[in-house]
Structure 1
């Protein structure tokens, strides 16, 4: 893997990011697609793409990607396909064919994970978010969500992880192991700019393995940033937003702002 050019292609933002030429015969896919499989790509599905191309979606080391077979069948382009209005067609295909089904299947795992309730038990909207206590974007996301939580419309379920800093795990375990985790989470949020919750070694000992289980779940789902947030849209489809949501994404997740 370390000698493969493929990881560099993920950094491409345009359709012209790379070309691969076929060198082997394929049984189930054209030779150019087979060349990607030999580099570790798991092909998940195919679809009709613009310009006479055939689109494919796949995964590599838990990361989703889209690639496109040219009409001559001899080359495959790996990268992001944009339309004339700048819409990301690759992201839409990945969401529909890979991430949507994967996260829908994972929803029961989120329900059974070690999370902290943040908001009313009667809230109509349940949102799971992977939260690292040292993550500034998690802190800002919670601030953004406050109007919906205060209005009783949204319940955030923080799946606490410890991945960013040396004391992330111990802070997460202190919150998760507290007698009242929701109150501990709020205390941490209130004191975040001063360093957050004070680590309690007894609580860490009790909840360390729960935090590590959350870390594993995040890794298994291929999520690499906090916050990573999963919710159900109006049609019941499981959607994922990685990083700090923009205002439009917030309303898609939580509904109109109270």
Structure 2
């Protein structure tokens, strides 16, 4: 079952950078995005940047497509009044929870997040994915934070679709994007539309 879920996750995450629901039936992508934004205050994030234009990014520390999105966003950090809010979830691998915990339990969460991404596939434990060493102990509060992050996805009816980007556009409409962009132009257009 785990292999099947991993395969489905990879298929979903590799979808074109599209604005569409995970499945063809209702609700619409806008409705899913609105559900998520209504509950985004329940999520524990690692903020990057100080801007007023907020982009929420659900990521798994072991997700290769999340890592690609991280790399693609580097030129945008600190520009155009953008704030990236990286929201760790634990849905991909057995080490996802302990790596997400290592990020959230660190004295400097942003630095721990950078360690995970900048050393991707280079971690000392030899486990695939993120470069941060997994936490030896997941503190109860940390588990609650990660479970709450996962719940924001699940309450919206979205499972294992990461990376997932959600924000309000300039018209105030909730927007949802799944996967890593296929081009710099797609990423630029998405970021330009953020309110």
TM range (shorter): 0.7 to 0.9
Structure of higher RCO (CA pairs closer than 8 Å, 6+ residues apart):
2
Could you say which residue in structure 1 is the equivalent of 2:70? 142
Q: Does 1:250 align with 2:187?
A: yes
Q: Does 1:237 align with 2:167?
A: no
Partners of 1:105 and 1:243 lie apart in 2 by: 19
Could you say which residue in structure 1 is the equivalent of 2:95? 167
Is the CA contact 1:187–1:197 (under 8 Å) kept in the aligned structure 2? yes
Partners of 1:136 and 1:109 lie apart in 2 by: 26
Over aligned residue pairs, what C-alpha RMSD do you find?
A: 2.2
Deviations 1:165-195 (A, max 9, x none): 1100110011012111111101111111203
Structure 1 alignment gaps of length 5 or more: 1-61, 67-93
Aligned length, in residue pairs: 163
Deviations 1:208-235 (A, max 9, x none): 2211221122122222321011122221
Could you say which residue in structure 1 is the equivalent of 2:148? 213
1:103 is paired with a residue of what secondary structure?
A: helix
1:201 is paired with a residue of what secondary structure?
A: coil
Could you say which residue in structure 2 is the equivalent of 1:65? 24
Could you say which residue in structure 2 is the equivalent of 1:199? 134
Cα drift, residue 248 of structure 1: 3.4
Moved more, 247-256 or 157-166: 247-256
Partners of 2:135 and 2:36 lie apart in 1 by: 32
Could you say which residue in structure 2 is the equivalent of 1:103? 33
* Length-normalised TM-score, structure 1: 0.57
Cα drift, residue 200 of structure 1: 2.6
Cα drift, residue 63 of structure 1: 5.9
2:28 is paired with a residue of what secondary structure?
A: helix
